[in-house]
Chains A and B, each alone.
Chain A
């Protein structure tokens, strides 16, 4: 079954790296990208939008930032079961701890070398879609 991935990322270069990294990975998925928190929440709350199987969330976004989105997602009884993977430039332990305390499902640091996106993103999606069990809706 085709999985839906929602990428919340304001940086077009990083979004392009993610898109490129998941090309030809052999997984059946559809990737939606939104560039800010407001659009992410309105999409997730829209009746017409199909519930994603995985959310990939940047932390530093204009307006409603990744922290606020994470809080909204994990305090919403209908959205909190969707796994949220943080994908950010910050490797600071304080951010890592804060994200896990706010119930991020996992935390990944963006690689400095764009060539590494492929390995990281494909491992992420393979783990969530092939190894882990997700709730059915």
Chain B
């Protein structure tokens, strides 16, 4: 089976490291690409031939926010098929509603506790990579 290509859009180096660590233990082979802000993410997604299978998107980032990236992805006829998992510290009801209104595939809040963070990434991994069928 081909490895799953994940684009992680995240500006916090600690969260990037934890996500990398959690995904190392995944049963499913995966390649993790990092974009440190929304601008980098959109630039990467415009690269010819680059199509991640799934995008993990933080909301609060410098320059171009995750909210704008989500709107751009889901209004692009070619990119909108890529599932976008919002992964953020924001528990704000407005952010949750805005994200679902703009067709995020799911919204997940990051726990502060490290062990819980690892467990969370593993449960995302288990659901999206083993149970769900992704577009390829």
At the interface with chain A, which of B30-38, B41-49, B64-72, B74-82? Answer: B74-82
Q: Is A105 an interface residue (CB 8 A)?
A: yes
Which residue on A lies nearest to B108, using beta carbons?
A132
A-side contacts of B108, CB under 8 Å: 131-133
Contact with B along A69-87 (1 / 0, CB 8 A): 0000010010011010000
In the complex, are the beta carbons of B74 and A103 less than 8 A apart?
Answer: yes
Nearest-CB distance from A111 to chain B (Å)? Answer: 10
Partner of B103 from A74, A91, A97, A106 at Cβ < 8 Å: A74
Asked if A81 and B126 sit within 8 Å, CB to CB, the answer is: no
* Interface set, chain B 87-118, CB cutoff 8 A to A: 91, 93, 96-97, 100-101, 103, 105-109
State how many angstroms separate the Cβ of A55 from the closest Cβ of chain B. Answer: 13
Task: Point out residues on A near B: beta carbons under 8 Å.
Answer: 74, 77, 80-81, 83, 91, 93, 96-97, 100-101, 103, 105-109, 120, 123-124, 126-128, 131-136
